[in-house]
Amino acid sequence: MDKGVTVNIPYLNGFDDLRSVEDISKVLDGQERRQIKYAPWSEGGELPRASFALAYGNEDIYLKYYVTEHTLKAEYSKFNDPVFKDSCVEFFIAFNGDEKYYNLEFNCTGTSRVQYGQHKTGRTFLPASLLKTIKHQTRVKTSAEGNIDWELTLCIPKKVFKYHPALLLEKSKARVNFYKCGDGLPQPHFLCWNKIEAQKPEFHLSRFFKEIIFSPQTV
């Protein structure tokens, strides 16, 4: 992937007023879908297929994941549980040149684990009171090939990013990466959107984040 190309994130006008995650989910189906296709630590075998759609509004970031995999696991149900051991998708973001970043991790039922910090160690968990404000919807079905297809739609309020209380998204830049993992599955896997170069699975390498810009609002 060309690290020099900035990805534009579309603005969805008026969607902050929608109370239904279902409505957001349908709108995201019409946005560009980006593949989480890199598997730098794969040892062979069939890997999950994963992609995402991303947009934003005045007060929320909208994110939808689309996943196909062999096994579905959702053991964890409490905020800030180690959901990366389940069937999991993740979103890491650093705002406006900040060296510190947020890691937002969700299992297939929408249970969230969110932290903030500069490195993999010494990170600060965000409180459950904030994580409760993230709206989500999960859809699961079995495909004709016997795989499991699941979708997770997320409406993430800006207030979740508590260390950026004056956050303005429009025309701002951020650095991000997106992941699909399942550390505790029968066949563990580690997929990334922007390619990572490391000897072993490691998502907390911010130098491999890719720049995005939140597009200007349209009336």
CB distance 150 to 136 below 8 Å: no
Indicate the residue type of 147: N
Per-residue pLDDT of the chain (219 residues; tens, 9 = 90+): 345 578 999 999 876 665 689 999 999 999 999 999 999 999 888 899 999 999 999 999 999 999 999 999 999 999 999 999 999 999 999 999 999 999 999 999 999 999 999 999 999 999 999 999 999 999 999 987 889 999 999 999 999 999 999 999 999 999 999 999 999 999 999 999 999 999 999 999 999 999 999 999 876
DSSP state of 48: P
Please tell me the distance from the alpha carbon of residue 89 to that of residue 181, in angstroms, as a whole number: 6
Residue 67 inside a domain? The answer is: yes
Instruction: Give the CATH number of the domain where residue 32 resides.
Output: 2.60.40.1190
Residue 44's domain comprises: 7-214
Classify residue 149: in a domain, yes or no: yes
Question: Does some domain include residue 201?
Answer: yes
Total count of domains within the chain: 1
Residue (of 212, 179, 195, 177) closest to 106 by Cα position: 179
What is the tens place of the pLDDT at every residue in 175-206? Answer: 999 999 999 999 999 999 999 999 999 999 99
Total residue length of the chain = 219
Rounded-to-integer distance, Cα 35 and Cα 51, Å? 4
User: Which two tokens mark 149?
Assistant: 């297809």
What is the residue-wise DSSP string for 80-143? TS-GGGSSEEEEEEEETT-S-EEEEEEETT--EEEEEESSSSS-EEPPHHHHTT-EEEEEEEE-
* Residue 2 within a domain: no
Contact criterion met (CB below 8 Å) for 191 and 204: no
Per-residue confidence (pLDDT) for residue 216, from 0 to 100:
93
